[in-house]
Amino acid sequence: MALLELKDINVSYGNVQALWDVNLKIDEGKIVALLGANGAGKTTLLNTITGALKPTSGEVLFKGERIDGLNPNRIIERGISYLLEGSRLFPDMTIQENLEMGAYHRKFWSGRKQDIERMYALFPILEERKKQLAKTMSGGERQMLAMARALMSNPALCLFDELSYGLSPKMAKAVFNTVKQLHAEGITVFLVEQNVRQTLEIADYAYVIENGRIVMECEGCTMLENDYIRQAYLGI
């Protein structure tokens, strides 16, 4: 059974339909990628999973149970964590406080001290700078902190929106390496990206979305050899 499954999802903003019959599966322990251009419907799809948007039809199943129509807090509680595009840290709070906010939900708050220690073990750079304000960090470090904050609630599934956006190639590489490391620890990751090549290099499975429809899906590495993908997304 898949950890998360979308079945025939349709989503509209008023009269404008944004997602059409989307079917998608994320298996436990895998890195699954969703690729697509700006405005293709990637963030809409994420918002549907996190409960911020309600689908007009279709089902979202998490661990076999329907979660569409639940409010976002119930979904966080069940173990889905969402890292928004652009890291979205709290700039005037310290690194430690940002991490604490990752455990804001009542269910996780009491265990926040152990979780912070766990994050410091995973990202040692954060411990060295725990008293500094988040706004003093570089782009790559911010993304590390954002990932750590998303992991504070011990999620079964992490949704990462545009992790590499705005990072230098070197930083982007470091961030993707971290995702690989999380994967090795058994965390399930749903990567939503524009950086096609690096994403496909680490993804176990990938979907391509265009104009609100899933137009292609396959194992990550075979997609790199697909002519259409090479032409439309890699420009080779």
Partner 1 sequence: MTVFLLVLINGCIVGSTYALMAMGMSTQYGVARILNIAHGEFIVLAAVVTYALQQSGLGLHPLFALVLACPIVFAISYILHITLYRRLRRLSPNLGVFEGNAILVSFGIYYIAQNLLQTYMGAAPKRYPFMMTSVNIGGAGISAAGLFVMLIAIVICVLYTIFLSRTRLGKSIRAASQDSQAAAHLGVKINSIMALCFAIGGILAACAGVLMSMREQFQSTSGLGYTTIAIIIVVLGGLGSVKGAILGGFILGIVGYTVSHFIDSVFMISVFYMIILVLLIVRPKGLLGR
Of 8, 39, 109, 201, the one binding partner 1 (CB under 8 A) is 109
Amino acid at position 34, single letter: L
Q: Output 33 or 75, the one with its CB closest to partner 1.
A: 75
Q: Among residues 22 and 76, whose Cβ is nearest to partner 1?
A: 76
Shortest CB 116 distance to partner 1, Å? 13
The torsion angles phi and psi of 129, rounded to 5 degrees, stand at: -115, 25
Q: Binding string to partner 1 for residues 112 to 151, with x set by CB under 8 A, is what? A: -------------------------------------x--
Sign of CA dihedral 190, 36, 42, 169: positive
Give the residue with the Cβ less far from partner 1, 7 or 118.
118
Site membership for partner 1, residue 97 (CB under 8 A): yes
Shortest CB 18 distance to partner 1, Å:
18
The only residue of 56, 90, 213, 222 in contact with partner 1, by rule CB under 8 A: 90
Residue 183 CA to residue 80 CA, distance in Å, equals 15
Size of the site for partner 1 (CB under 8 A): 22
Contact status, residue 95 vs residue 126, Cβ threshold 8 Å: yes
- Which residue spans within the chain are E strands per DSSP? 4-13, 16-26, 31-35, 57-62, 65-66, 80-83, 157-161, 188-193, 205-210, 213-219
Would you count residue 100 as binding partner 1 (CB under 8 A)?
A: yes
Tokens of 178: 């971290």
Tell me: does residue 93 bind partner 1 (CB under 8 A): yes
Q: Is 82 in the site for partner 1 (CB under 8 A)?
A: yes
Restricting to residues 147-206, name those near partner 1 by CB under 8 A.
149
Alpha-carbon span 204 to 99, nearest angstrom: 29
Q: How far is the CB of 224 from partner 1 (least distance, A)?
A: 32
Angstrom distances, CA of residue 77 to CA of 107, 127, 152, 226: 7, 26, 12, 39
Interatomic CA distance for residues 12 and 1, integer angstroms = 28
Q: How far apart are CA 107 and CA 113, in angstroms?
A: 13
Residue 157 exposure: Cα atoms within 13 Å on the Cβ side:
26
Residues 33-52 that bind partner 1 (CB under 8 A): 50, 52
Smallest separation (angstroms) from partner 1 to the CB of 212: 22
Q: Scanning the structure block, which residue is given the tokens 């298996």?
A: 27
Chain residues in the site for partner 1 (CB under 8 A): 50, 52, 72-73, 76-77, 82, 84, 88-93, 97, 100-102, 104-105, 109, 149
